[in-house]
Amino acid sequence: MIFISGVSMPKAIKLNPFISGMKCPRCNLFYPLDLYKIRCSKCESFLEIVYDYDRAKRRVSKWKLLRRLGIWKYKELLPYPLAKDLISLGEGSTPLISTRRLVPGVRLLLKNEAANPTGSFLDRGSCLIISLLNGIHRKLVCAVNANLAVSLAAYCAKVGMKLSFFCPPDIDRGEFYQAIALGAEVHVVRSQKEAYERSSSLRNGYYYVDSANPFLLEGEKTTAFELAEQLSWKWPTWIVVPVGTGGHITMIWKAVKELSVIRIVRSKPPRLVGVQPKSYSPLVDLFDGSYNRDYYGTIARDLVFVDPPKLFEAYRAIKESKGIAVRVDDKEIIKALKDLASKEGILAEPAAASTIAAIRKLREEGIIEKGDTVAAIITGSGLKNPDIIKSLIESKRRERTLTKTKIFILKAIRKLGGRGYGYEIKKILESEYSLGISLPTIYHHLKELEQMGFLRRLNIVDKRIVNYELTTEALQFLKKNA
């Protein structure tokens, strides 16, 4: 039973009877199940849901699972409500595609999570948490993570719930419009910090959902449940996962351990690979003892989270699996993006394509050996970001025509000493060039200029505000067109 204490009338909902409660992954303190108690009182870590595995394994069998569909086929190991209709938009049951064209010498398997309803693995978690909240809350709020907002908005629309989303102005244009089309109220604020502050301060019946919510995360572990089932209840040698918040890879390892405990899978467990962009890699920093203070931009922006909430758990999962964390640069990611599209027919988001770049690197280094079976989790669709698709079509990014507005933006940054952020640029455009452009539009131009090679992200000012710097190409262009 789960106790609901954050609504006007105290309620109790009957959930999966195999749930034991919640536990802190760091200090191992145990808590009763509570939809509103998601952090440890002692260390502030996000809690994890634990089950009575002895009872669960008596009810779960391979043959029973074969007769079910979607993520709810694994309901004995999910916090599902007993007395409610389980919501679904057709999430889960995503294809596992075998290929030898992308990385010669290994058996490569592409777990294509782009086939989920909104093109993201996050649909698994959104499906679960909206099923829980339906009938308790009518309003949700989330911040910063546009992929999560789009996913939650779709499931909120299904049941008539309202979603408010707070985001910084450099949100991807495709995800911005998708969230609005699905009925979300989108609030563009100055920075990530303000987005978190505004969203977490909402009351009056709002339930705050972020990417580390333990109920949301439980749905994400079904990626691994499906992978094992598709391989006849065996594990591959490696599972390669993009890492942003650290939640997905943590839950994949939780699924590996759970299937072992209930004796559904008895093969050797996989080794995990966590992949991050070279420009921002706090997980890899933990492994090699370095610390990169400056974020200078990456095409895989979905993997950039300041203070990732599940970083420690992701690190521990990789260590326990005898795995590795690896950095890849944008050039390697773009090559993987193009190859996934042209050789396998998969339009992946940059974060998802980073897995292929990492596998190639590890194969060249001999860490992934010839004959290994490697599963790459293709976490999301490139169709979410039309700017990325456009850049793939363009064979030479620097040959794209610069509009007058973009030229003025480059000149404004030059007036700021060669680097600046949105509000500074906006003021120069208004005062020097009499251009009244909204902040979201300015950030859209900045992103395109970055893709063209005229700007790079230097760092995050005050940990939240993105700072752009002119590249050598931009300086040369401005010199020619003074």
The domains found in the chain, sorted by start residue, are 96-119+220-392 (3.40.50.1100), 398-480 (1.10.10.10)
Angle at 199 between CA 301 and CA 442, to 5 degrees: 45
Contacts 24+ apart (CB under 8 A), 22-25: 22/47, 22/48, 22/49, 22/50, 22/214, 23/47, 23/48, 23/50, 24/48, 25/312, 25/313, 25/316
> What is the C-alpha to C-alpha distance for residues 326 and 358, in angstroms, rounded to an integer?
7
Task: Return the DSSP state at 348.
Answer: B
pLDDT for the residue 464: 59
E strands, 43-171, are 48-51, 96-99, 107-112, 139-143, 162-167
Residues with Cβ < 8 Å from 93, sequence gap 6 or more?
A: 69, 70, 226
DSSP, collapsed to helix, strand or coil, labels residue 143 as strand
Task: Return the DSSP state at 382.
Answer: G
Q: Which residues pair with 23 in a beta bridge?
A: 30, 48
Collect the ranges in the chain with pLDDT lower than 50: 1, 3-10, 395-396, 399, 461
Residues with Cβ < 8 Å from 395, sequence gap 6 or more?
A: none
pLDDT for the residue 5: 42
DSSP, collapsed to helix, strand or coil, labels residue 272 as strand
> What is the C-alpha to C-alpha distance for residues 119 and 60, in angstroms, rounded to an integer?
29
Within 10 angstroms of residue 44's Cβ, the number of other Cβ atoms is 9
Task: Return the DSSP state at 254.
Answer: H
Please state at what angle helix 472-480 crosses helix 404-415, rounded to 10 degrees: 110
Q: Cα dihedral sign for 66, 71, 73, 75?
A: positive
Q: Are 277 and 304 in contact (CB under 8 A)?
A: yes
pLDDT for the residue 111: 98
pLDDT for the residue 454: 87
Closest CA to 192 of 462, 469, 394, 473: 462
Phi first, then psi: what are they for 355, rounded to 5°? -65, -40
Tokens 């629309």 sit at which residue?
157
Residue type, position 14, single letter: K
Residue type, position 366, single letter: G
> What is the C-alpha to C-alpha distance for residues 432 and 415, in angstroms, rounded to an integer?
10
Q: DSSP H helical segments within 309-364, as ranges? A: 311-320, 330-344, 350-364
Give the H/E segment covering residue 328: strand 324-328
> What is the C-alpha to C-alpha distance for residues 86 and 108, in angstroms, rounded to an integer?
34
Residue type, position 241, single letter: V
Strand order in the sheet with 96-99: 96-99, 107-112, 373-378, 238-242, 271-277, 324-328
DSSP, collapsed to helix, strand or coil, labels residue 298 as coil
With left for phi above 0 and alpha for psi between -120 and 50, is residue 462 left, alpha or beta?
left
Convert the pLDDT of each residue in 269-311 to its tens digit.
999 999 999 988 999 999 988 766 566 678 888 898 888 999 9
pLDDT for the residue 403: 85
Closest CA to 354 of 322, 380, 373, 372: 380
E strands, 80-230, are 96-99, 107-112, 139-143, 162-167, 185-188, 206-208
Q: How far is CA 87 from the centre of its chain?
A: 22
pLDDT for the residue 462: 52
